[in-house]
Structure 1
Amino acid sequence: MSGDSDSNSGQSEENGDALLARITPGMAVIDVDGEQAGNVGGVHFAGTKVLPEAPLGIAEDLVDTGYVLIDGAGHLANDAYAGGDQIDDVTDVVTLNVRRLDLTRVESTTP
């Protein structure tokens, strides 16, 4: 029994990079409600030196967990980031464990 709980806690730590490793640019991203969030624009593993265009603090958290850049879908769509801890599963699509509206949006570089 204790082996099961040990494997679960270890699995959650490994899961971030293991899931990120299965993601490729262009894959569809679906949120927890089954709504399309967009398509994968890029994948960055935990500890990357590529700081996302997000508010400080959030950007550092994304670097710590690894993250996916999502090219937005739908009306009023904009690009967003999903942290490694926000990814539930990867099959032929990336499934998030949060709503697409709860993702961190890419900060605009235009005034």
Structure 2
Amino acid sequence: MTTQMPESNPLADVEVGMPVIDRENEQLGTVAALKFGDPQAITAEGQQAPRGLAEVVVDSFTGSEPDVPRQLAEKLLRTGYIKIDAKGLFSTDLYAGADQVDRVAADGVRLAVPRHHLVPES
């Protein structure tokens, strides 16, 4: 009989404000938000926290997270993600799925992919 060890969550040590560095060693910005997912889930149903009236009103003006096309949003909600506050005044924020996070190191969150593999905010 073999016992499987649960895989560690790549987002477990991520904190808001940490620098985010892509595979090509480019500092992209900082972690603006993170969401743990349930990779075993078949759908994204139940992956968002219950919303109160205030949150619904705010979302109607600002949009809900993740702010990407619906099919991709469902995948990110199911698997987990970090939202990256991109560097630069006119830079678009980015989303990295939990599967794109390589590790958390002393210098920040290290991604397993280059910047162009990340999804820009809509």
Give the distance between the partners of 2:91 and 2:102, measured in 1 at CA.
22
3-state SS, counterpart of residue 57 of structure 1: helix
Higher helix share: 1
Q: Number of aligned residue pairs: give it.
A: 97
Give matches, 1:4-83, under 5 Å: 14-15=7-8, 18-47=9-38, 48-49=47-48, 51-74=65-88, 76-83=90-97
| 1:76 to partner: Cα distance | 4.9
Equivalent residues of 2:92, 2:120 under 8 A apart = yes
Greater relative contact order, per chain length (Cα 8 Å cut-off, separation 6+): 2
Unaligned runs of 5+ in 2: 39-46, 50-64
Query: C-alpha distance in 2, partners of 1:74/1:103?
Result: 17
**Distance apart, 1:79 and its partner CA:** 0.3
Equivalence for 2:111: 96
Task: Give the alignment's TM-score, normalised by structure 1.
Answer: 0.76
Name which one, 1 or 2, has greater alpha-carbon Rg: 2
| CA apart distance, 1:102 | 1.7
Q: C-alpha displacement at 1:45, in angstroms?
A: 0.3
Q: Cα RMSD (Å) of the superposition?
A: 2.2
The percent of aligned pairs where both chains have the same amino acid is: 38
Separation in 1, partners of 2:88, 2:27: 8
Tell me the TM-score normalised to structure 2 length: 0.70
